[in-house]
Structure 1
Amino acid sequence: MTEQITATRFHAAEGVGDWRCLYHVTSAYFRTGSLTEGITLVDAIGRLTDEEYVTVDLRHNGVTVNLLRRDVALARRISAAATELNLVAEPARVQLLSICLDALDAPSILPFWQAILGYDPIGDDYLTDPARRHPGLDFQRMDEPRPQRNRIHLDIAVPHDQAETRIAAALAAGGHLVSDEHAPKWWTLADAEGNEACIATWVGRD
């Protein structure tokens, strides 16, 4: 199996401009003009690899490819296959969504959420959809109860070169910046009623 490398090393490599690291996932989106074009690309990817760390999402207007390992060589081959089919990548279209639950004792409540969702655990603070179709559930540690603060929020991992654009759009739509203390790992924003969400990137996580 391919050695896992850092996001910094992946993005420094040649020939991976179609791809963006999002937490543990590396993603590319290729726009298609029809379902038939998408199936052709998926078929080409299937001839390139049968690695279990590759997932493909096929829609009528595009194909999203996720690599659960930062495999530079495979990313290059998939991009080349798309180029041969005259399909253009749109890196701004990829993102990774997690639902985050603030918890005082994550290991004690994780089994409940695992049972109710039918998810698989990763460590003692994260649950993932075994079919890789739905958002993960991330348990974030609290040091003390916060009765006046939302306990659930969304984390949206976006391409590192799209974070400022996404933040600007949220601010223009009536939101406000709660904190940029941890930027560029993440920025915390909120809507007009104080409901929070985080825009996150891979930068600073290597």
Structure 2
Amino acid sequence: DRLRESRPEVAELFADDPEGERLARWLTEAEALVERWFTLEDPSRLEPAERELFVEAELDSGLRLRGIIDRVDVAPTGEVRIVDYKTGKAPRPEYAEGALFQMKFYALVVWRLKNVIPRRLQLVYLGSGDVLTYDPVLADLERVERKLLALWEAIRRATETGDWRPRPTKLCGWCDHQAHCPEFGGTPPPYPLPLRAPESGVAEQGRMGPD
């Protein structure tokens, strides 16, 4: 009620729920997540240096990175911990590397901004009560930077040519857009941007902003 009073726009999230049933389910789920959080961390002992911190950095290539970090802790010794909260369950061990990519991305931005490598990256999964931690080193961040540059170059080429190749995974069976996907014999909608052949030997700089 206090939140709706201070930010009336949040009421629009449940504008199509006149009986309040969906809101009641949402509040019940949120309560369970908060209760689990109290089993994982003691808020009376937390003194975050930053919460929901917007960060932005430009790499030497001109690629601009930005994101929002849930929590940043700074120890008296100056060591930095980056914490992110997830409402879902922790991934299986074989998928942990993918989950950590977001955290390494944040670490890269902090390193480029402050010239400080975070001491620890921490993912808190409120859905399962698991905490995933990783202590990065310089080589990790350099690999992430190379990966991001390669990813952006691939996006730039696809944007110029309109050639966006499907990348099938086991999750494709759940997708609602198979009718538009060539992998399933579908027809993609018309490409909305003008096409042009990439210039040989010229690498344009882009902007990138994953969350």
Return the TM-score normalized by structure 1.
Answer: 0.27
The structure with the largest helix share of the pair is 2
User: So what's the TM-score if we normalise by structure 2?
Assistant: 0.26
Larger radius of gyration, structure 1 or 2?
Answer: 2
